[in-house]
Amino acid sequence: MNKVNLEIIGLTYSESSTGAYVMILGDKNSQRRLPVVIGSAEAESIAIGIEKHRNGRPQTHDLFIRFAKEFGIEIMEVVINQFRDGVYYAMLVCKQGDDLTMVDARPSDAIAIAVRTGCEIYAYESVMEEAGIIMDDMERQDSNEADDTPINKGQTKTSLDLLDMDTLEELLQDAIDNEDYQKAAQIRDEINRRK
């Protein structure tokens, strides 16, 4: 399968899910983005890994890496390999001697490990096609005003099922233009549910 090389674009607090964050992953070679909702503990661990902050005692992801090193296991890469029913799945590609092993992991945990080890982060092209959002710089410049449709007035995700597909497509583009990845992910999921 074709893999897309990703980088972490940012972490933002999710306004719609208490205690959750949205991690934005970006395709290094295009304007595609992959928004992933993660827990606060994982967001904190990723941020600590990015900032190279050292705690007095190892956290869970640090412990995992120390354990792997102790037994001669190298983390080669992280691959987000599935998007099913609104949930992402990932694997750690590990090498011990001449043996390669794939270890199932939540993307948030796998990426917390990746930022500590410096290994590459990938997603299968099929995941990017299904769950990715395309950022178009030109369209973003043309659409600077907020939309007055119901989704922008604080209605919950369930209000999306009242809208027709054309309106959903317009709202998706507006959310992308405004870099509101949380909203864009919700709208994308509703569109995919209907297909």
Q: What is the pLDDT of residues 17-70, one digit of tens each?
A: 677 889 999 999 999 999 999 998 999 899 888 888 777 778 899 999 999 999
CA distances for 153 relative to 37, 147, 150, 174, 177, angstroms: 21, 9, 5, 14, 17
**Contact present, 61 and 46 (Cβ < 8 Å):** no
Contacts of 26 (CB under 8 A, 6+ apart): 6, 7, 8, 9, 32, 33, 34
52 or 75: which carries more pLDDT confidence?
75
Model confidence pLDDT, tens digit, residues 117-167: 999 999 999 999 999 998 764 344 344 433 433 333 333 333 566 667 877
Q: Are 161 and 189 in contact (CB under 8 A)?
A: no
What domains can be seen in the chain, in order of their start residue? Answer: 3-131 (3.10.690.10), 137-194 (no CATH)
Please write the tens of the pLDDT for every residue from 87-124. 999 999 999 999 999 999 999 999 999 999 999 999 99
- What residues contact 153, with CB distance under 8 A and at least 6 apart? none
Rounded Cα–Cα distance for residues 110 and 23 (Å): 13
Model pTM greater than 0.75?
A: no
